A = this chain, B = another copy of it.
Amino acid sequence: MTVKLPISLKKYLIALVTLWLAFGADVAQAQSKATWIWYPGDYEIWLSNKMQNRRTERGSFFPPFWKLDSHYVLIDFHKDFELAAPEEAEIAVEGQYNLKLDGKAISGYPKQITLPAGKHRISLKVYNQGSVPAVFVKSAHLVSDTSWRVTFEDKEWIDASGKTSDISATQYLSAGAWNFNEASAQPSTFRLPTVAQQAVSQDKQKHFILVDFGKETFGYIKLQGVKGKGRVTLYYGESKEEALDTQGGELLDRIDVDQPQIGDITLDGSRAFRYVNVQYDDAVDIDKVSMLYEYAPVQQRGSFSCSDDQINKIWQVSAYTMQLNTREFFIDGIKRDRWVWSGDAYQSYLMNYYLYFDSPTVTRTLAALRGKDPVTSHVNTIMDYTFYWFIGIYDYYQYTGDKTFIQQFYPRMQSLMNYCLSRRNKDGMMEGLTGDWVFIDWADGLSKQGEVSFEQLLLARSLETMALCANIMHDGKGAILYNAAAKDLKAKLFAYYWNPQKHALVHSRINGKPTDNVTRYANMFSIFFNYFTKVQKQDVKKYVLLNNSIPKITTPYMRFYELEALCAMGEQNYVLQQMKDYWGGMLNLGATSFWEEYNPDKKGAEHYAMYGRPFGKSLCHAWGASPIYLLGKYYLGVKPTAPGYAHYLIEPQLGGLQWVQGAVPTPAGDIQVYCNRKQIKVNAANGMGTLRFKSKAKPVCKGATFNFANGYYEMTVQPGKNYTVNYSAL
């Protein structure tokens, strides 16, 4: 029999593309590999508890000061399946469980079962108090994956006559998973991998070794050739000064060794350091000190190089800073907190899109930060950090196109937003209430009083995120509500804070009256949120961003946004110089990773002090790595314009450089860009791109045509094709 195709080739191709787009949008739901599954967010919460309780301060345990949630201890998993023939399934479970086929229990704790042919339902109900209830099922055609349904409350009861009721349909969510794809890869046993590394120098003296690993690093110290009995104390230092200051350093470990035979000892606790000062008793001898470097096995897909070696070094050190701070989750810094802070993590998400494009680390971090209901405080207790959580989801959807996280967490998005909205004052504005930390930035004398414009701005964007997600969830009522609230708040933002004399948004209102105080925060965010008119943007650039009388920013954290705002306005030349001054300034001081704070006015060991402690400052802070994001998004010029890079823009900017080159990862392959003053080369694995640039002469490119509008040339970039454009930079 032959079948005549009922559609033309053109229609067929459209259908193929549609299919691909649908697949791309829901890629995380379409796993076909067996993987361990759990209630969404539960493993992430459990793992983050474990990680966040590893902080120590001079030998004392130092846990977070916010509520830590926990997993549901009892979870019901099920999947409806249909098989042509019976097949054997392997079963692995973390916890005490029952297994049912079509509601009938199989006795005991089966490790293997025969699945019958036909349409059936398999369910597993798992209790686990100490770690997360999780299951792994694998047969030829039935595998545990995120298409399974889970609930913490199955409400399946039986009446006196034996009739069963199950009315929990609305409670089911799709299962959570990561990459535990073997029965033996039990989620509760997960540890980051390690690799042995050697010191670059060891200064060994009597009962004392000062070790230098040559750069900032993280892991477990290994004492080699240990003999004798006694106390060994390790003083860690991100700087040599810190390692040598046995009274003032942040990190130390004391262990008692009893080693009649010579042997090696690896410390239990992972620490951040470049230098280690190992001191030991008379009765102890140690041959040498090495380490096990601990790391997250994420793949570095993004790259960047250019004609300026200092910028290349800045990018490399930024990438290394990100590597060190990308662990089970995106953390703030490796020495001190090692906690998941929403504002810090938000920048890591953005940098990640230009370095690893590792989506699981983003959603894992978002899940850990959100925890569980009820909401009793802002995320990390910080008002602005709650808002970054929402905005992070907005960006995540834009970069990845993945709806799974939104589908799983929309109820928790709603309850967190309800918490925020219920805390507005009578004017509908957010003000710090008892228990709220209004952070904004580490900056001397920064006012947190009253209604801070920056907080309203972040809430407005958060409401826009809610509206976006409400639409994805087909929650029409929610979309209307959130959109209206966002619109209302944006109107107030300009009515209350815009000061025409100052050509800027002012910092706050106190007792209903706007202050005269102009700070950079709300102004720079309004630029890349696109809340300003063209005129306002130019005004703000002149009167705020490039105005030295407005208080300077001294953290890489807020410099991230300041420089982004300037890039968004085409100030790449200026920003390049700023990067060279600021990040280059840290490199000039010997930085091997970027810092929590950098004030060029300070001298020597002053740089290491913070929080009233001589070495309180983190010298390896994720938010120090922003050049990755700035160079990828605003110099290579690549960003998505539709969710998941279905459409995207390439707008290379030399910013005074002779050439730039690099790769930007996307959900399905990379976008390669090379640009000098005469030639642009691009190649993209997937999606539909627009290459945009200015040129003195009409550009030429084989296989492409150009539109010219508003001073820009534009051409379409098809997937999988190499383009070389000859042009002439302005």
Contacts and interface: CB of A to CB of B under 8 A. Distances in A.
A708 interface: no
A70 interface: yes
A434 B167 contact: yes
A415 B373 CA distance: 13
A160 interface: yes
A158 interface: yes
Interface in A294-340: none
A168 B435 contact: yes
A65 B160 contact: no
A374 interface: yes
A577 interface: no
A60 B105 contact: yes
Interface in A40-73: 46, 49-50, 53, 57-73
A317 B483 CA distance: 66
Given A160-B442, A160-B610, A68 B63 contact: no
B434 A170 contact: yes
A108 B161 contact: no
Contacts of A190: none
A152 interface: yes
A512 interface: no
Interface in A366-395: 373-374, 376-377, 381
Contact of A127 (B53, B162, B165): B53
A98 interface: yes
A105 B55 CA distance: 13
A134 B557 CA distance: 38
A433 to B, nearest CB: 10
A500 interface: no
Given A160-B611, A611-B161, A60 B435 contact: no
Nearest to A54: B96
A309 B162 CA distance: 38
Given A160-B611, A374-B373, A73 B73 contact: no
A214 B374 CA distance: 51
B376 A65 contact: no
B377 A66 contact: no
Interface residues of A, number: 70
A606 interface: no
A67 B57 contact: no
A260 interface: no
A415 B65 CA distance: 24
A711 to B, nearest CB: 44
A105 to B, nearest CB: 4
Contacts of A66: 153, 155
Contacts of A560: none
A543 interface: no
B167 A98 contact: no
Contacts of A129: 46, 49-50, 70, 130-131
B167 A435 contact: yes
A108 B62 CA distance: 11
Nearest to A415: B374
B153 A60 contact: no
Given A74-B68, A442-B160, A155 B377 contact: yes
Given A96-B53, A611-B160, A435 B61 contact: no
A153 B71 CA distance: 18
Contacts of A437: 155, 157, 165
Interface in A154-191: 154-163, 165, 167-168, 170-171
**Of A60, A162, A376, A597, most B-chain CB atoms within 10 Å:** A60
Given A67-B74, A68-B152, 4 more contacts: A49-B74, A62-B98, A63-B98, A63-B125
19 contacts: A50-B129, A53-B74, A53-B96, A59-B107, A59-B108, A60-B107, A61-B96, A62-B98, A62-B105, A63-B96, A64-B74, A65-B155, A70-B72, A70-B73, A153-B376, A158-B612, A160-B597, A168-B435, A374-B415
